[in-house]
Amino acid sequence: MAGPISSDDDIAFHLEQLLEIDPRLASVAEIAGNLPLRLQPPGFAGLARIIISQHVSTASAAAIYLRFLDEISPVSPRRFLDAGQETWIRIGLTRAKQATLKLLAGEILAGRLDLDELGKLPPQEALAQLTKLKGIGPWTAEVYLLLSAGHPDIFAAGDLAIREAVRDAFEMDTRPSEPELRKIALLWTPHRGVATRLFWTYYEKRKQLKQAVV
């Protein structure tokens, strides 16, 4: 497996290989244009931010994360645990998110989870290490592995924008289900990390084009 995606050169390499595997994606790539890295902070801080963003609006997630940084800085598992429940409540963390972050911090400090190594593991093993923790589902794990760990072969099949982008690109009558899309994406192994970025960017560009027409 190739190393983590961490540069524009990595994007270019994987995209070239992807288009050789599936020439149908050439038209998708033409519309998408340049693919951004979309890298986010790695480690506990990066995963905490994704967990905080679950099930809330973008604006709410941003406000909560700013309070998180104000109260716990620099962010680390130990500093999070030491902050305690009163601080977590003041930040605006729900009980469920408090429990997830507490569990995550404990696993890291105990040496049972190494977030820095996840980008180097086979896809299913990397996902399994994260989703075994209560409160971290497939979408959260996939987004972290893609954008923080830079995993080269993770595909965010559960992401609604990705599913709609694939439907549009392949002119499908209905939006593919998550299991259907996972089967489709098997063809793009081991470059599914860039395939995800390709369809995210394609979705954004198609949305912009449709708005321009209106």
Q: What pLDDT was estimated at residue 55?
A: 86
Closest CA to 43 of 117, 128, 134: 117
pLDDT value for 120:
87
- Kindly report, residue by residue over 81-106, the tens digit of the pLDDT: 999 999 999 999 999 999 999 999 99
What is the rounded CA–CA span in Å between residue 118 and residue 126?
A: 5
Confidence of residue 40 (pLDDT cuts 50, 70, 90): confident
Rounded CA-CA distance 59/43 in Å is: 23
CA–CA–CA angle 147, 183, 27 (5° rounding): 70
User: In whole angstroms, what is the distance from residue 192 CA to residue 186 CA?
Assistant: 8
d(CA 28, CA 120): 28
If one looks up domain 43-147 in CATH, what number appears? Answer: 1.10.340.30
Could you state, in order of their start, the residue ranges of all structural domains in the chain? 8-36+153-213, 43-147
pTM: 0.88
139-164 confidence digits (pLDDT tens):
999 999 999 999 999 999 989 999 99
pLDDT at 113 > cutoff 60: yes
User: Over the stretch 7-18, which tens digit does the pLDDT of each residue have?
Assistant: 999 999 999 999
pLDDT at position 210, please?
80
- Model pLDDT, residue 214: 57
Architecture of the domain made up of 8-36+153-213: Orthogonal Bundle (1.10)
* Residue of 87 and 55 predicted with greater confidence: 87
* 13, containing H or E segment: helix 8-21
6 neighbors 39 (Cβ within 8 angstroms): yes
Q: What mean pLDDT is predicted for residues 39-50?
A: 92
**What's the chain's average pLDDT?**
94
C-alpha pair distances (Å), 212 with each of 32, 205, 206, 208, 209: 16, 11, 10, 6, 5
pLDDT at 209: 82
| Joined tokens for residue 147 | 């954008």
**Is 1 a residue whose pLDDT tops 80?**
no
Report d(CA 17, CA 1) in Å as an integer: 13
DSSP string, 54-91: TTS-HHHHHHHHHHHHHHS-S--HHHHHHHHHHHHHHH
pLDDT above 60 for 125: yes
Residue 199 reports pLDDT greater than 70: yes
